[in-house]
Amino acid sequence: MSRKLIFASGLLVCFSANLEPDLQSKISTDKSDIRFHLAKHIRELTRLSPLRVIERSMMQYDVPDSVATDLFQAYAAFLGVLDNKVKRDALENLRSQDSRTNSFKEIREISDVFQRSLDHIFFDNSLVAPLTKKYGVF
């Protein structure tokens, strides 16, 4: 889930160059400094944590509160499992034939909620979905 979070936040940083009205107005009016404005914009966003990038994007791109809540609660639950030594050890030692255990089911359920939230952001959001189709899917 951490890798997905980092990847998703990176895509949102890239997409933001197309979606941010302030940046677009600077680029369209000051053609001599396009690279400067883009670099400054990307630098500002990459100083944020991946969770902050996701949070910022959800607020700017009108992602429903329920989706945001699901995503952040799922990630917090994932971190809670990682912070629990017994559960973490059980997952580290999990064998494929034992993958139906309670610990594994818990992680799968958490991951499913997290994935549904990302799907909503990248495939259902009217602002982000066209960019996902154009640039995020090969």
- Confidence grade of residue 125 (pLDDT, cut at 50, 70, 90): very high
Tell me which of 114 and 84 has the higher pLDDT.
114
DSSP 69-136: HHHHHHHHHHHHHHH-HHHHHHHHT--GGGTTSHHHHHHHHHHHHHHHHHHIIIII-TTTHHHIIIII
Terminal-residue alpha carbon distance, the chain: 22
Residue 55 pLDDT exceeds 90: yes
Tens of pLDDT, residue by residue over 92-124, are 887 777 766 666 788 889 999 999 999 999 999
Closest alpha carbon to 11 in 43, 48, 47, 57: 57
Tell me which of 100 and 130 has the higher pLDDT.
130
Give residue for tokens 């940083």.
13
Question: Per the confidence metrics, is the pTM higher than 0.75?
Answer: yes
Domain extents for the chain?
Answer: 2-136
Max mean pLDDT range (1-5, 34-38, 86-90):
1-5
